[in-house]
Amino acid sequence: MFDFGKSYGDVTEDEWVAWFMEAHDEAPDELDALKKRLQVALQFDTKILDADSRVSRVLDNSMKTLEADGQEWVIHQEGKLMVEIITKAIKPAPLQLAVTKQLQLHRNKVLKSDVFRYVKWLRQFA
């Protein structure tokens, strides 16, 4: 038990719990690096005229990026972050502005943290 510096029989339950919980703790710099990779990968292709196809392409690219890093959990646990990144990637700029204004409305508050509802809404709105 190299991490503990002692025999596994000498490790207390509290030490085991703390050791396993370290896997759930993410370093801020790791999250920032993931955000940067997602921002690069998520680009709205304005050559695609169909809004649904454009959104699908962005989602496909985001999943490829997350899967490459083994970070699929981000979709489920960091919904607010994903909504923010997708919103910043929207092109053209007037559409991005309209989406941002719609997200500020109280009735759309739930969309800010639920990426699945947001994507469904975005496909209809765009």
Q: Are 118 and 83 in contact (CB under 8 A)?
A: yes
pLDDT at 1 over 60: no
Give me the pLDDT at residue 103, please: 95
Q: Are 101 and 77 in contact (CB under 8 A)?
A: no
Q: Crossing angle of helices 28-41/51-68, nearest 10°? A: 140
pLDDT tens per residue, range 49-68: 888 898 999 999 999 998 98
pLDDT at 28 over 80: no
**Dihedral sign for Cα atoms in the order 14, 1, 30, 85:** negative
Of 123 and 5, the one with more pLDDT: 123
Mean pLDDT of 22-47: 79
pTM of the model: 0.74
Of 23 and 46, the one with more pLDDT: 46
